[in-house]
Structure 1
Amino acid sequence: MRLLIVTSQFPIAGEPNRGRPVYQTIRELSRLATVRVVSPVASYPRWAQPRSYLFRASDDAHTVEGCDVQYVRYPALPALTRPFNGGSCARALHAPLKAFAPDLVLSYWLYPDAYGAMLAARKAGLPLVAGARGSDLRVRDAISRGLTRPVVRAAQRLLVVSEDLGRVAVENYGADAARIRTIPNGCDASLFHPADRAAARAQLGIAATDAEVVTYVGRLVAEKGLRELLEACRTLSAARPRLRLVLVGEGPMREEIASRLAGDPSLQVTLAGAQPPAEVARWMAASDLVTLPSYSEGHPNVLVEALACGRPVVATPVGGIPEVVDADSGILVPARDAAALAAGLAQALDRRWDEAALARKFSRDWRQVAEDTLEACEQALHESRTTLAVSAAHAR
């Protein structure tokens, strides 16, 4: 099968860890089928760079290990062109699609990526499979919600990372439940596995072997519950002076966090920045627990990886998180509640956890994710060809 994959959730020169779960899936898919990635990148004028995230321009010649990728650009302005970005994306896709001549188009991220892919696939007479990651289904603005709906309904298969997202697609967008396939994320066991905590701390320069290390991995944005996390750690610091918070990632809240730390010496926080997967695994190994106090999630891979490293988690019962975390692997606390988060962190730090049992909880690798994805694409292609054959027979 020849698969054209359209997604902006893919590594770019300035952001090598971008869309890592999508990249892991595509790399394995490339071993099972003939795959080309076309990554559409919004191109903003210098005077109108987005403020909602740390925008990093891509390099069109950037290469990604194990993947055949082509970066294409379409013009955009923050907020103003949002209703038109899907159409602009489609125009950027027509030529690459024609040149590759795929059997099917698979697109991750529903708007504008999959919307553009839908228009381009429709023009070429090809079936579309769309993949939702979480935030692209839990859309805030009415414009994007309205433009997401036709993609969800048009896709021959809608791939979601959690059962919760499948319910959202049906209830909020009118998706056909029979076309939805839940394909949870995998985990790279060669990187994420139990490792000696003391050795990891020594390698990362954590001098206090008796420190209580709480690690967060992800974008530095308010929606991840970082303000509540800082407040929770401040609350705990008086009774737990050995508590240390590590934030692994980048985002628009970095300056706010740094400013708060400068004015609050009671907080012991390390801003580790964005890290490659091997270093993320090292930080997890060095930790006592991993936390993700998000307001909204799909199927957070960071929690799967934390458990694979034998580390318990403290998170919120939102989205697909309850499908990952149970009473034997972590503690769930209400979102947006710093006091409850502080109590959950303290409870998790005081509890003795079975590291080996935590690590056994997830054994699903990215090859299995790719196989499930390819099966869904094969089903969609077979149905599409069957429909065309029936239509042609009726026309005669």
Structure 2
Amino acid sequence: MRLLIVTSQFPIAGEPNRGRPIHQTVRALSELADVRVLSPIATYPRHALGQWAAPRSYLFRAADPSHAVPGCDVRYLDYPALPLVSRPFNGWLCGRALHAPLREFAPDVVLSYWLYPDAFGAMRAARRAGLPLVVGARGSDLRVRDAVSKRLTRPVLHAARRILVVSEDLGRVAVRDYAADPARIRAIPNGCDASIFHPQDRAEARAALGLDADAEWVVYVGRLVPEKGLRELLDAAAALAPQRPRLRIALVGEGPMRAELDSRIAADSALRVTMPGAQGPQEVARWMAASDLVTLPSYSEGHPNVLVEALACGRPVVATPVGGIPEVVDADCGLLVPARDPVALADGLRQALDRQWDDAALARRFSRGWDAVAADTLRACEEALAEHRAGPR
């Protein structure tokens, strides 16, 4: 099968960990099919129009067309955009950029991750070429907040022959909020690379990172954005500090909250927080190994790979019962606390730090590799192709 992947959530120059679960899936798919990735990136006229023309919800980086991604045939495309102003048209602009390279590759199936604008553009390009469309939702692209993106996501889900979601919860959201056909939904949870994420000696990991060997380390891994509950995490850490002077927090990642977090940490001497920035998978695994627990106090999630990887490293987790998190975390491997509640989060962290955990038992919970994810994904694409060849719905 010739499979064209369309997604902006893919590694780019300066952000090599972007879209890591999709990258892992594509690498494994490339062993099973002839795969090419088209990564459409919105281009903002920052230099011509000033800083106001750059998106503020994430750290914008322009794509480098020459950037290579190991194990993947990827081509980066750009299309013009303005924050908020062009949002209703970004799907059309994205689709226009896809037409020519899609014809050149001549795929059997188009698979697009990220519903708007990526999958909307892929829908238009696939329809023009007479090809079946499969779409993959990651979480926040289904739980969209703005009315424009939500309205333009609906036709994508109705046009797709198959809808791939990373959790059963997201499948229910697609049916409830978009009237998607349940028969076309396939839940394909993320995998985990056991060659990277596995139990390691905590003392050795702390020594390698130069961390205090006797401290209680709570590690967060992800984007530095408010929706991840980072303000609540610092509030909880400040509340625990008088009783737990050895408590340390590590925020591993980058994002638009960096300056705010720096300011908060500088202003509160009780907070002992380390921010090493974005890290590659090997380094993330070392931070997890160095931790006493990993936390993810998000407001919303799909199927957070960071929790799967933490457990694979033999570390318990404290998270919130949102999205697909309860499909990953139960009382045997962590604690779930209400979102947006720093008091409950502080209590959950305290309980988890005081409890004795069986590292080996935690690590045995997940053994699903990316080859299994790729096989399930290819099977869904084959279903879509067979249905397409059988004729109209």
SS at structure 2 position matched to 1:285: helix
Cα distance in 2, alignment partners of residues 186 and 120 from structure 1: 30
Cα distance in 2, alignment partners of residues 18 and 209 from structure 1: 31
Which residue does the alignment assign to 1:110?
115
Which residue does the alignment assign to 2:28?
28
Which residue does the alignment assign to 1:2?
2
Matched residue type, 1:92? A
Which residue does the alignment assign to 1:310?
314
SS at structure 2 position matched to 1:326: coil
SS at structure 1 position matched to 2:259: helix
Matched residue type, 2:74? V
Cα distance in 2, alignment partners of residues 52 and 192 from structure 1: 30
| Mapped pair 1:199 → 2:204 | yes
| Mapped pair 1:234 → 2:238 | yes
Mapped contact 1:135–1:297 kept (Cα < 8 A): yes
SS at structure 2 position matched to 1:216: strand
Q: CA deviation at 1:100?
A: 0.2
TM-score where L is the length of structure 1: 0.97
SS at structure 1 position matched to 2:391: helix
1:153-192 equivalence runs, <5 A: 153-192=158-197
**CA offsets 1:202-248 (integer angstroms, 9 cap, x no match):** 00001x32210000000000000000000000000100000000000
Equivalent position to 2:297, from 293, 306, 331 = 293
| Mapped pair 1:262 → 2:266 | yes
Q: Percent identity?
A: 75
Equivalent position to 1:380, from 378, 381, 384 = 384
SS at structure 2 position matched to 1:52: coil
1:46-61 equivalence runs, <5 A: 46=46, 47=50, 48-61=53-66
Cα distance in 1, alignment partners of residues 345 and 370 from structure 2: 32
Q: CA deviation at 1:58?
A: 1.3
Mapped contact 1:214–1:246 kept (Cα < 8 A): yes
Matched residue type, 1:52? S
Aligned residues: 388
Matched residue type, 1:160? V
Mapped contact 1:14–1:57 kept (Cα < 8 A): no
| Mapped pair 1:130 → 2:162 | no
| Mapped pair 1:66 → 2:71 | yes
**CA offsets 1:137-163 (integer angstroms, 9 cap, x no match):** 000000000000000111000000000
* Runs of 4+ displaced beyond 6 Å: none
SS at structure 1 position matched to 2:65: coil
Which residue does the alignment assign to 2:19?
19
Cα distance in 1, alignment partners of residues 302 and 84 from structure 2: 24
Matched residue type, 1:24? Q
1:307-386 equivalence runs, <5 A: 307-386=311-390
Q: CA deviation at 1:14?
A: 1.8
Cα distance in 2, alignment partners of residues 373 and 360 from structure 1: 24
Q: CA deviation at 1:45?
A: 0.1
Cα distance in 1, alignment partners of residues 248 and 147 from structure 2: 40
Mapped contact 1:315–1:332 kept (Cα < 8 A): yes
Cα distance in 2, alignment partners of residues 20 and 7 from structure 1: 12
Matched residue type, 2:10? F
| Mapped pair 1:41 → 2:41 | yes
1:276-291 equivalence runs, <5 A: 276-291=280-295
Cα distance in 2, alignment partners of residues 76 and 292 from structure 1: 32
Cα distance in 2, alignment partners of residues 61 and 41 from structure 1: 14
Which residue does the alignment assign to 2:224?
220
Equivalent position to 2:249, from 236, 245, 249 = 245
Which residue does the alignment assign to 1:76?
81
**CA offsets 1:352-374 (integer angstroms, 9 cap, x no match):** 01111100100000000000000
RMSD over aligned Cα atoms: 0.7
Matched residue type, 2:58? Y
SS at structure 2 position matched to 1:159: strand
Cα distance in 2, alignment partners of residues 301 and 52 from structure 1: 22
Matched residue type, 2:288? M
Cα distance in 2, alignment partners of residues 122 and 113 from structure 1: 14
TM-score where L is the length of structure 2: 0.98
Cα distance in 2, alignment partners of residues 265 and 232 from structure 1: 14
Cα distance in 2, alignment partners of residues 339 and 51 from structure 1: 29
Q: What 5-or-longer segments of structure 2 have no aligned partner?
A: none
Q: CA deviation at 1:51?
A: 1.4
Q: CA deviation at 1:56?
A: 1.1
Cα distance in 1, alignment partners of residues 251 and 237 from structure 2: 12
Q: CA deviation at 1:52?
A: 1.5
**CA offsets 1:97-135 (integer angstroms, 9 cap, x no match):** 000000010000000000000000000000000000000
SS at structure 1 position matched to 2:6: strand
